[in-house]
Amino acid sequence: MDRSHPSFPVFCSQGRRKMAPTHVLRCCQRGLAWIPVIFIALVVCWSYYAYVVELCLFTIPSILEKVVYLAVFHVSFIMFVWSYWKTIFTRPSTPSKEFCLPKSEKEQYEKEQRPETQQEILKRVATSLPLYTRTGAGAIRYCDRCQVIKPDRCHHCSACDMCVLKMDHHCPWVNNCVGFSNYKFFILFLTYSLVYCLFIAASVLQYFIKFWTLCRRKSAENCPKSDLPESHAKFHVLFLFFVAAMFCISILSLFTYHLWLVGKNRSTIEAFRAPVFRNGPDKNGFSLGFSKNIAQVFGDQKLYWLLPVFTSQGDGFSFPTRLVTVDPEQPTECLQPGGLDKGAVEGSAEQTTPLSESQNRLLGKDYHIEEDHKETHILKSDESEAITISIESES
């Protein structure tokens, strides 16, 4: 074959040597990233064998107790595995094409060296996008790696090498990014794993005590005869209790923390770094009240809350927000109901920004903001129909 033919791919040997180690290293990193998931899978498989076979079949003498334990165990086991599977294999949502720069603006952005001019280009493109958050310096949030304008609550994950919508964190135990598409699955995974460990620890406790006492009296004289079989099952039962209790304690703290985040409608990133709006940072900028915050993640239909099926509200690109003033300690919030004219809020246009149509639909007709540590006063102006809600923190 003639290698000088134009259609034959020609590679630089030096470039090929440089690319090969990088490709191998990347493959090794991807393979090693599955080690925590494989470890969890092995522990779960062993716990199933230890509980079903060694405890229920070989240790528990009562038939009724076996049936009840096996029924409850399998329900919690199925829900735990189902939610864990969905958390792992649900691909994170990424920004759509409308957040990419058009070809002409992209070329102009790449050629331009001055940050001020680059920001002007981004602002022209962002005028048609539902964006309310900015960088700490007040600039448009742009990802040079993915070459997209970041939607609200979107962040770049270095492990996944992509921008993830409503990114919460990258979890090594699921080898996936937890964000808008699988955050509900992650919460349910924590819920059912906690239930799974609690049930195992509670049901194994009495047999753990019996085996532990039996082991301590093994060498004693006149030891009372035990009704438990003398087999290797006691080692599985003893170790099963320790493992279940250990995982239960570690999961409980993480589960409690994420329930608090859901109630506040914050992500882990936003809990450590408050989102910056046009009027400044506000850690409660996306909080709509406890009940609506729960609905943002779990949806409106309570029938599906405990099932690992996607029911979260919104599209991941825009979110309903509270509109705040520059002072985050004593904010004044202005909400624009759908029935008001645009002219009614023109006087406060520089301090607040009206919500988009999709956000108004999510908020619905009820514009109440529930805060445990704040008092809400509703004032109606005679000169306009705008509704102003002033919230003052208690001293």
In contact, 61 and 284? CB cutoff 8 Å: no
3 state SS of 86: helix
Tell me if residue 171 is catalytic. yes
Tokens of 383: 């000169």
In contact, 280 and 324? CB cutoff 8 Å: yes
Amino acid at 141: R
Which of 160, 171, 197, 334 is catalytic? The answer is 171
332: phi then psi, degrees, rounded to nearest 5: -115, 120
Element (H, E) at 27: helix 13-32
- Which residue pairs, CB below 8 angstroms and at least 24 apart, start in 174-177? 174/37, 174/84, 174/87, 174/88, 175/33, 175/34, 175/36, 175/37, 175/88, 176/87, 176/88, 176/89, 176/90, 176/92, 177/92
Residue that has been written with the tokens 């704040």 in this structure = 374
Element (H, E) at 170: strand 169-171
Whole-angstrom distance, CA of residue 189 vs CA of residue 89: 13
Query: Within 10 Å of residue 101's Cβ, how many Cβ atoms?
Result: 19
Catalogue the active-site residues: 171
